[in-house]
Amino acid sequence: MESLNIKLLEVCSKCGACYHICPSCLNLNEGYDPRAVIKDILAGQYEKWLSHKSIWQCLECHHCLEICFQHYGFENAMAAMRTLASKKGLAPTQVKRGWDMFIKTSRLGEPAAPARKKLGLPEAAKSGAEDFKKILKIYQERKESGVRSQKSE
Partner 1 sequence: MKDFTIFWGCTIQTRFPFLEKSTRMVLDGFDLPYRDVDGFTCCPEKSLVNNIDHGLWVLTAARNIALLDKAGVDLVSPCTGCVSNLATVNGELHSDNKEKIKVNSILKEIGLEFKGKNKLRHLVPFFHDEVGIPAIKNKIVKPFHGMRIALHYGCHMIRPSHALKNDDPLDPKKFDNLIRAMGAESVQYMTKLLCCGQGLDRVDQHENALHFARLKLKELKSLKIDAMALCCPSCYLQFDNNQFLMEKEGEKFGIPILYFTELLGLAMGHKPEDLGVDSHRVEATDFLEKWQRLNGEFARTDELNRQLEEGFGIAQH
CB of residue 34 vs partner 1: minimum separation in angstroms? 15
Binding site for partner 1 (CB under 8 A): 3, 23, 27-29, 53, 56-57, 59-63, 65-67, 71, 79, 82-83, 86, 91-95, 98-99, 102, 106-112, 115-116, 119-122, 124-129, 131-132, 134-136, 138-139, 142-143
The C-alpha atoms of residue 36 and residue 6 are separated, in whole angstroms, by: 15
* Amino acid in position 36: A
Contact criterion met (CB below 8 Å) for 73 and 65: yes
DSSP letter (8 states) at residue 53:
G
Q: Phi, psi (5° rounding) for residue 22?
A: -70, 120
CB of residue 49 vs partner 1: minimum separation in angstroms? 14
CB of residue 22 vs partner 1: minimum separation in angstroms? 9
Whichever of 16 and 98 has its CB closer to partner 1, that residue is 98
